[in-house]
């Protein structure tokens, strides 16, 4: 069976199927349809959807709801992500499992509200103080919107941190015919909770890469929640050893589990000397470019990145080692190309295919910049 659906509805459906029980957001193009879908559908499964007074409040509502036991989602666009930034830092410090959807549009500032872009890529990773790792997933299609939303909830619960779904105006707003079999039943694991009869410290871990148990407000355990550096009991601390261990934990719980997080699709062709790399809506143009090049008898390889952060370094280094030219296509001034350049050898040429005029990159543009026309 098939259906005609857009990315916003697929994200909302994926969230509800993942067990989402709470949504808060503020209207902003092109994320508003997610708010509307959640407001319509969540009450049907005894969930709660709130239109907040602003983006800062929306993040705060989601943090509070999660710590009280809900599974929470919020959605916004670039200007809203800027306002989310402080509370994203709070969610990192408090180890709050939740999902944030960023429907990217042209910036900076208000930019062009109805124009697509991929300009938030570096901001999503580095837009909070401290620089601690986040997980950022990136769908290329409507079915990816559904599947990666479910995956985002699973990773959020697994690692107790906010997970971001970095989509864009075209993927969210454009409708396409989707085969229902392309929707994956991605399992979302249950939250690991402290038991009422056990001693409980809200941020205790045996090893740095471990994930602390949770307890919900209103339960039998005492839960302390703070935006400041704290010990395992949740008390503020200035002890250098305590501070170091906390910050090492926030880094290790992500970077020590890369094999569970990174997602990349590699299409490797023997003898290819050119590798195309892309993500999101632009990866669809890349796929068309690859098909056209191979139809003409040219050997090319491709990599579609679904987990932008952490960077899938091991997989990228492996596929990059076989080529001389690397072409990175994206709707910005070369934000992810920086990561590829960091991984490339000195004798490899890294070329960017970029547009910042609100239009999509065409397959011909990708082949032209790759020297295959």
Together in a domain, 289 and 171: no
Q: Return d(Cα 316, Cα 309) in angstroms, integer.
A: 13
Together in a domain, 170 and 295: no
Tell me if 127 sits within 8 A of 81, measured CB to CB: yes
Give how far Cα 295 sits from Cα of 12, 289, 300, Å: 38, 10, 11
Q: By CB neighbour count within 10 A (0-12 exposed, 13-18 middle, 19+ buried), where does 204 fall?
A: middle
Angle at CA of residue 365, ends 359 and 370, nearest 5°: 140
Together in a domain, 148 and 287: no
Together in a domain, 157 and 296: no
Per-residue confidence (pLDDT) for residue 232, from 0 to 100 = 96
In-domain check, residue 282: yes
In-domain check, residue 220: no
Per-residue confidence (pLDDT) for residue 196, from 0 to 100 = 78
Could you list the pLDDT tens digit for every one of the 373 residues in the chain? Answer: 899 999 999 999 999 999 999 999 999 999 999 999 999 999 999 999 999 999 999 999 999 999 999 999 999 999 999 999 999 999 999 999 999 999 999 999 999 999 999 999 999 999 999 999 999 999 999 999 999 999 999 999 999 999 999 999 999 999 999 999 999 999 999 999 998 777 889 999 999 999 999 998 888 888 889 999 999 999 999 999 999 999 999 999 999 999 999 999 999 999 999 999 999 999 999 999 999 999 999 999 999 999 999 999 999 999 999 999 999 999 999 999 999 999 999 999 999 999 999 999 999 999 999 998 8
- DSSP H helical segments within the chain, as ranges? 7-17, 32-41, 55-67, 78-94, 121-126, 142-159, 169-173, 240-255, 258-261, 280-295, 313-320, 337-343, 363-369
Per-residue confidence (pLDDT) for residue 38, from 0 to 100 = 98
Could you say which of 149, 182, 215 is where a domain stops?
182
Tell me if 193 sits within 8 A of 221, measured CB to CB: no
Together in a domain, 171 and 289: no
In-domain check, residue 49: yes
* Residue 153, token pair as written in the block: 């909830």
In-domain check, residue 120: yes
Least Cα distance to 260 among 175, 75, 135, 83 occurs for 135
Together in a domain, 178 and 277: no
Per-residue confidence (pLDDT) for residue 330, from 0 to 100 = 98
Could you say which of 182, 209, 231 is where a domain stops?
182
Tell me if 371 sits within 8 A of 347, measured CB to CB: no
Together in a domain, 40 and 163: yes
Give how far Cα 14 sits from Cα of 20, 157, 198, Å: 9, 15, 35
Coil/strand/helix, residue 352 = strand
* Residue 195, token pair as written in the block: 């038991």
In-domain check, residue 188: no
Together in a domain, 147 and 6: yes
What CATH number is attached to the domain comprising 344? 3.40.50.920
* Total domain count, the chain: 2
Per-residue confidence (pLDDT) for residue 77, from 0 to 100 = 97
Together in a domain, 138 and 17: yes
Tell me if 235 sits within 8 A of 203, measured CB to CB: no
Q: Return d(Cα 50, Cα 140) in angstroms, integer.
A: 28
Q: Return d(Cα 169, Cα 167) in angstroms, integer.
A: 7
Q: What is the pTM of this model?
A: 0.97
Could you say which of 182, 217, 243 is where a domain stops?
182
Q: Return d(Cα 321, Cα 73) in angstroms, integer.
A: 39
In-domain check, residue 16: yes
Q: Return d(Cα 124, Cα 368) in angstroms, integer.
A: 30
Buried b (16+ CB within 10 A) or exposed e, 116-144: bbbbbbebbbebbeeebbbbbbbbbbbbb
Spatial neighbors of 51 by CB under 8 A, at least 6 apart, are 24, 25, 26, 27, 35, 39
In-domain check, residue 247: no
Together in a domain, 167 and 303: no
In-domain check, residue 246: no
* Residue 214, token pair as written in the block: 């949770």
Together in a domain, 140 and 272: no
The whole domain housing 139 covers: 2-182
Q: Return d(Cα 30, Cα 166) in angstroms, integer.
A: 13
Per-residue confidence (pLDDT) for residue 207, from 0 to 100 = 97
Together in a domain, 161 and 303: no
Per-residue confidence (pLDDT) for residue 124, from 0 to 100 = 97
What CATH number is attached to the domain comprising 36? 3.40.50.970
């Amino acid at each position: 069976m098939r259906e005609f659906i857009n990315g916003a509805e697929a994200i909302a459906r994926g969230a509800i199927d993942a067990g989402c029980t709470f949504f808060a957001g503020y209207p902003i193009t092109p994320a508003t349809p997610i708010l509307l879908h959640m407001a319509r559908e969540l009450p049907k499964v005894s969930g709660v959807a709130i239109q907040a007074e602003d983006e800062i409040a929306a993040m705060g509502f989601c943090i509070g709801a999660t710590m009280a036991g809900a599974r929470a989602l919020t959605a916004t666009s670039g200007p809203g992500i800027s306002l989310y930034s402080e509370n994203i830092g709070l969610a990192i410090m408090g180890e709050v499992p939740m999902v944030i959807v960023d429907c990217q549009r042209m910036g900076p500032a208000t930019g062009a509200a109805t124009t697509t872009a991929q300009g938030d890529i570096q901001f999503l990773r580095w837009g909070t103080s401290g620089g601690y790792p986040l997980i950022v997933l990136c769908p290329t299609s409507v079915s990816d919107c559904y599947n990666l939303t479910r995956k985002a909830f699973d990773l959020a619960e697994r690692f107790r941190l906010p997970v971001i779904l970095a989509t864009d105006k075209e993927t969210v707003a454009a409708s396409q015919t989707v085969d229902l079999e392309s929707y994956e039943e991605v399992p979302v694991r249950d939250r690991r909770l402290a038991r009422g009869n056990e001693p409980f410290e809200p941020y205790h871990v045996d090893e740095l890469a471990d994930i602390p148990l949770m307890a919900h407000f209103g339960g039998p355990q005492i839960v302390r929640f703070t935006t400041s550096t704290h010990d395992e009991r949740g008390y503020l601390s200035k002890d250098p050893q305590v501070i170091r261990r906390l910050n090492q934990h926030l880094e290790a719980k992500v970077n020590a589990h890369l094999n569970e997080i990174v997602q990349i699709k590699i299409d490797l062709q023997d003898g290819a000397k050119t590798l195309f790399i892309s993500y999101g809506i632009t990866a669809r143009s890349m796929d068309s470019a690859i098909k056209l090049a191979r139809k003409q008898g040219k050997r090319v390889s491709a990599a579609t990145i679904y987990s932008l952060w952490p960077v899938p370094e091991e997989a990228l280094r492996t596929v990059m080692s076989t080529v001389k030219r690397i072409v990175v296509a994206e709707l910005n001034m070369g934000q992810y190309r920086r990561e590829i350049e960091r991984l490339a050898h000195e004798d490899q040429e890294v070329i960017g295919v970029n547009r910042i005029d609100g239009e999509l990159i065409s397959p011909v543009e990708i082949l032209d910049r790759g020297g295959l026309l």
